[in-house]
Amino acid sequence: MGYGCSYFYFQAGDVCMVIYTGNDIWKRLKECRRSIILYGTGNGADKILNELKRLEIDVYGIMASDGFIRNRSFRGFTVKSVSDFENETQNPVIIIAFGSQRQEVIENIIRLSKRHTVLCADVPVYGENIFNRNFYESHIAEIQMVYDILSDELSRRTFESIINFKLSGELEYLTGCFSDKEEAFRDILRLDDNESYLDLGAYRGDTIEEFLHYTNGRYSHITALEPDKKTYKKLREYAGGIDNIQLFNMGIWSEDEDLVFNSSLGRGSSISESGTQKLAVTKVDTLYKRRQLTYLKADVEGAEERAIIGGMNTLKRDKPKLNIALYHRSEDIFSLPLLIHSIQPDYKLFIRQHPHIPSWDLNLYAY
């Protein structure tokens, strides 16, 4: 189950994109005659199992890392260790079904891939669209357009690699385009000591801490939104000693209104029709109607498109530096860059994949 063939997909001028043309990961698994084992027991594993069931693909078992087994079961399977399966079956195909940015976990997965066939089935954090061959071919025009407007070679290579990773499930495509976050802040964002920063999805303050690090604690103003009540309390505790900061227990959207919120997923809590908690949401344009915005970060659990639409006037007027998550929905990788480009064509657009399996730290940077 190695790489399939590729073809050159020509873009404007002499620049071209090389796209994997073998069977996508789902068809490969459908045709597989080996034992398929899922590695992971969280929401990602649930979604992968649901898709495998829909495609009538049998799963042999579920495994977890040492220390996470604890005599438990998941979806009717007894959770076992990799050594258990190595004793039970020969030459299995292992599907990564959880996410991590921890270096030791990534290194462990890479070591595992030296002994076994290891693939990563890309399922969206939010939304129903699976990035399979049909999805890619339905959106090839948008994908072409994004490739053409990216501003440097690393962005184009990263974009190409992530498309190939999503189609093939091959880890080499993903790990081969990892780049350090330091480079994005140093060479693209280049934050100065007079930034007016809007942090959408501030969580407990980790991205405020990141901002303070890259500005050496010198800035004009920070505004931060966090919708989850329990997390917002932690954010307030963190920000207690920070000057010139404004916090809101609100969500971001394309309108000023009240919505329902699902707070059961911790960091992944989001605006959802299945939610039970009432949530006030606002627009970027409302927050910055009478003041300037210089830097916007949005990691808002699938609401990035709504946030951008609600900030159209601010983006047109101020052209703030952008740091936007591209990984929550399958379409984000092409729809968000195209939306931003349509609002403010003067932006230079960059895509970077920071170390994470699967590609859950894929970001769009712009200035």
Contacts 24+ apart (CB under 8 A), 47-52: 47/123, 47/124, 48/95, 48/97, 48/121, 48/123, 49/75, 51/26, 51/121, 51/123, 51/130
Q: Are residues 170 and 208 in the same domain?
A: no
Q: Are residues 26 and 151 in the same domain?
A: yes
Q: Are residues 131 and 217 in the same domain?
A: no
Give the per-residue pLDDT at 361: 97
Range of the domain at 198: 191-325
Q: Number of C-alpha atoms within 13 angstroms, CB side, residue 104?
A: 1
| 332-343 vs 140-149: helix crossing angle, rounded to 10 | 60
Q: Are residues 169 and 26 in the same domain?
A: yes
Asked if the structure places residue 348 within a domain, the reply is no
Q: Are residues 145 and 241 in the same domain?
A: no
Name the one residue in this structure whose structure tokens are 């939104």. 225
Asked if the structure places residue 341 within a domain, the reply is no
Residue 227 belongs to domain with CATH number = 3.40.50.150
Distance CA 304, CA 325 (A): 7
What confidence tens digit (pLDDT) does each residue in 73-132 have? Answer: 999 999 999 999 999 999 999 999 999 999 999 999 999 999 999 999 999 999 999 999
**Domain edge (last residue) among 120, 143, 175:** 175
Give the per-residue pLDDT at 200: 98
Contact 189, 295 (CB under 8 A): yes
Q: Are residues 153 and 248 in the same domain?
A: no
Give the per-residue pLDDT at 264: 58
Asked if the structure places residue 101 within a domain, the reply is yes
Count of CB atoms situated within 10 Å of the CB of 14: 6
How far is Cα of residue 155 from the mean position of the Cα atoms in its chain? 16
Q: Are residues 257 and 298 in the same domain?
A: yes
Asked if the structure places residue 357 within a domain, the reply is no
In order along its 367 residues, the chain shows pLDDT tens digits of: 544 454 445 444 456 899 999 999 999 999 999 999 999 999 999 999 999 999 999 999 999 988 778 778 999 999 999 999 999 999 999 999 999 999 999 999 999 999 999 999 999 999 999 999 999 999 999 999 999 999 999 999 999 999 999 999 999 999 999 999 999 999 999 999 999 999 999 999 999 999 999 999 999 999 999 999 999 999 999 999 999 999 999 999 999 999 987 765 555 555 666 556 789 999 999 999 999 999 999 999 999 999 999 999 999 999 999 999 999 999 999 999 999 999 999 999 999 999 999 999 999 999 9
The answer to whether the peptide bond before residue 227 is cis (omega within 30 degrees of 0) is no
Asked if the structure places residue 351 within a domain, the reply is no
Q: Which two tokens stand for residue 248?
A: 């809101």
Q: Are residues 13 and 161 in the same domain?
A: yes
Asked if the structure places residue 79 within a domain, the reply is yes
Give the per-residue pLDDT at 4: 46
The pTM is what?
Answer: 0.92
- Binning the chain into helix, strand and coil, the percentages to the nearest 5 are 40, 25, 40
The most distant pair of C-alpha atoms in the chain lies apart, rounded to whole Å, by 66
Asked if the structure places residue 352 within a domain, the reply is no
Q: Which amino acid is present at 322?
A: L
Q: Are residues 257 and 214 in the same domain?
A: yes
Distance CA 197, CA 213 (A): 13
Give the per-residue pLDDT at 13: 45
Beta strands in the chain (DSSP E): 6-10, 16-20, 36-39, 61-63, 73-74, 77-80, 93-96, 117-120, 196-200, 221-225, 245-248, 251-252, 257-262, 270-271, 277-282, 295-298, 321-325, 349-353, 362-366
Distance CA 364, CA 342 (A): 15
Give the per-residue pLDDT at 12: 43
Q: Are residues 239 and 285 in the same domain?
A: yes
- Three-state DSSP at 247 gives strand
Q: Are residues 96 and 26 in the same domain?
A: yes
Contact 283, 298 (CB under 8 A): no
Beta strands 196-200 and 221-225 are parallel
Instruction: Tell me how many domains the chain contains.
Output: 2
Q: Are residues 26 and 160 in the same domain?
A: yes
Asked if the structure places residue 342 within a domain, the reply is no
Residue 67 belongs to domain with CATH number = 3.40.50.720
Q: What is the CA radius of gyration of the chain?
A: 21
* CA angle centred on 202, ends 196 and 208, rounded to 5°: 55
Give the per-residue pLDDT at 7: 46
Distance CA 20, CA 8 (A): 9
